[in-house]
Amino acid sequence: MLSFLDRERSVAGPGFSRWLVPPAALAIHLCIGQVYALSVFKKPLVEKMGSSETAIAVVFSIAIVMLGLSAAFGGTWMERNGPRKAMFVSAVCFSSGLLIGSLGVQTEQLWLLYLGYGFIGGIGLGIGYISPVSTLIKWFPDRPGLATGMAIMGFGGGAFIASALSAKLLTTYTSIAAPAQPTDAIVPAFVTLGLGYLVFMMFGVFTVRVPPEGWTPAGYVAKADHGNKMITTANVSAENAIRTRAFWCLWIVLFCNVTAGIGVIEQAAVMIQDFFPGQVTAISAAGFVGLLSLFNMGGR
């Protein structure tokens, strides 16, 4: 059954429309964007786990570190095995991460939250992040900017949806189990998100395709190099790239850029509630996270 995931089984047949691939890519990125909505759960998690905000913030830190590591080291594996298998691994890891995280919350074991939402979920994040981007670039060589934009826009859009969805789940499960507290709603919310995202991401797994070898869009002609010194067709292996000064200078610039944005997003809901104590409800804080995510999506 798992042979269905092999790269050879995901090659598009004659007449396949490349415009069917973006929905598959968005199915993955809209789900993994949930990681940006963790701040919605932060205050309830602090109360439930009896931990500090710093200890809960480590969950997000682990997830982002694992995103970077799994994306860096999983790229070659993904190219060799195809996006379908990579998306499947992403779906299983990300969803199981939420479920294991819910177990950690239920038992008040912080290390399980680190393992699930942080470590395992982070692996799903990284593999899920690179799979749609790489696949869309292959399908849209004539529109590379559009291809990458469609993919990573979903990541920001996922956070926009997830912030509102997470807040709604917290209030819904709290009201169902009244007079329960928001802390009692974290576990069913995590379980609902984990199972729901698994189903949604599987849509992407089953519908994604890769173009046949040598395929190009109708009428597409690769642009010739007109001597632009800023553009090079030379290839540098990863092994050689990491030995160059230029690589590390670029890495440091990107690291600083991402750190600034990630730092704000991780603290967004808590930050606005602390700035305006007693004036901002949990729902309003989730709306603030959604607003940040909306402009995040637009910028991408």
Mean pLDDT score, 242-250: 87
Confidence of residue 2 (pLDDT cuts 50, 70, 90): confident
pLDDT tens by residue, 122-142: 999 999 988 888 898 889 888
| pLDDT over 70 at 266, yes or no | no
**Can you tell me the mean pLDDT for 112-117?**
95
Q: Map tokens 């979903």 to a residue.
A: 154
The pTM (predicted TM-score) of the whole model is 0.83
Residue 154 · residue 31 · CB < 8 Å: no
Mean pLDDT of 5-15: 86
Q: Are 210 and 10 in contact (CB under 8 A)?
A: yes
Per-residue pLDDT, averaged over 65-73, amounts to 88
Return the top range by mean pLDDT from 172-186, 187-201, 245-259: 187-201
Q: Which domains does the chain have, with CATH numbers?
A: 19-213+243-299 (1.20.1250.20)
Please give the Cα distance from 159 to 46 (Å, whole number). Answer: 21
- For the stretch 76-112, pLDDT in tens is 888 889 999 999 999 999 999 999 999 999 999 999 9
Using alpha carbons, select from 60, 71, 185, 44 the residue that is nearest to residue 114. Answer: 60
Q: Cα(125)–Cα(86) distance, rounded to whole angstroms? A: 11
Neighbours of 2 (CB within 10 A): 7
Mean pLDDT of the chain: 83
Q: What is the CA radius of gyration of the chain?
A: 21
What does the pLDDT read at residue 199? 96
Q: Tokens 């499960």 label which residue?
A: 173
- The tens digit of pLDDT for each residue in 34-52 reads 888 888 888 889 989 988 8
| Paired strand residues for 210 | 11
140 CB contacts (<8 Å, ≥6 apart)?
A: 18, 146, 147, 217
Residue 54 has a pLDDT of 86
Residue 258 pLDDT class (50, 70, 90 cuts): confident
